[in-house]
Amino acid sequence: MGTRSIGIVVSVSLLTLPTPKLVLDSSLHARLGVLATGLRTEVVLCLTGSSDGPTTVATGFLMPEPKASSTEQATFGSCPTTSVAIWHNHPLEALRGGGDPNANPRDLCALSETDIRTAAQTAVPFVVIAVDANTWCWWSHDQIHKLDAQHVLRGDPVSGQIQSLTPAGTPPYTAVTH
């Protein structure tokens, strides 16, 4: 029986190189969805997996050394250089704690200035933010470097890179970025 994959596929357009893609395997997607839904404070995870040319498949995770965690930020040790993505959550608690009553989970799916500066210092190919089991957004390393170089304070999701994920067994989403 083969492993089924679901989740997000990120495609980054490059002029002459094959398009890099990140795929979350279905088991990992399910585990991260439970965490994203249940966590009340921010947590950072290092996604592990393998790469076969332009496609990277994330199959597991490990948690770096935690230093601090609240509803609005987390400080953790570094991910290993072999990590395929950095995953962290922006808990819905941030919306419920006196925030905008009209806000929805997609409003939390963005990179903070700290997220951008921290991720730009790593060599990890992708960054994924989860708000709940259905609201995820992601950026490639190149996109994060561009945000950092522009000194932006917030990295809003790129069109096509914020999704409500499909249930197990359906084709994964593909996002093309420019």
Q: Which fold has domain 5-163?
A: Cytidine Deaminase; domain 2 (3.40.140)
How far apart are the C-alpha atoms of 18 and 9, rounded to whole Å?
A: 14
8 A C-beta contact, residue 115 and residue 127: yes
Residue 108 has a pLDDT of: 83
**Segment among 2-11, 65-74, 84-93 with least mean pLDDT:** 2-11
How far apart are the C-alpha atoms of 5 and 29, rounded to whole Å?
A: 9
Instruction: For residue 119, give the amino acid letter.
Output: A
Confidence band of 99 (pLDDT split at 50, 70, 90): low
Question: Distance of CA 123 to CAs 31, 72, 81, 151, 166, Å?
Answer: 25, 24, 7, 19, 29
38-72 per-position pLDDT tens digit: 998 899 999 999 988 778 889 999 999 988 888 88
Residue 44 has a pLDDT of: 94
> Which comes out higher in pLDDT, residue 19 or 92?
92
Domain ranges across the chain? 5-163
How far apart are the C-alpha atoms of 132 and 90, rounded to whole Å?
A: 8
How far apart are the C-alpha atoms of 134 and 105, rounded to whole Å?
A: 9
Q: What is the pTM of this model?
A: 0.78
8 A C-beta contact, residue 106 and residue 131: yes
Is 171 a residue whose pLDDT tops 50? no
Q: What average pLDDT does this structure show over 59-88?
A: 91
Instruction: For residue 98, give the amino acid letter.
Output: G
Is 173 a residue whose pLDDT tops 60? no
Q: What percent of the chain has pLDDT over 90?
A: 40
In whole numbers, what is the pLDDT of the chain averaged over residues? 79
CA dihedral 100, 42, 92, 123 (to 10 degrees): 90
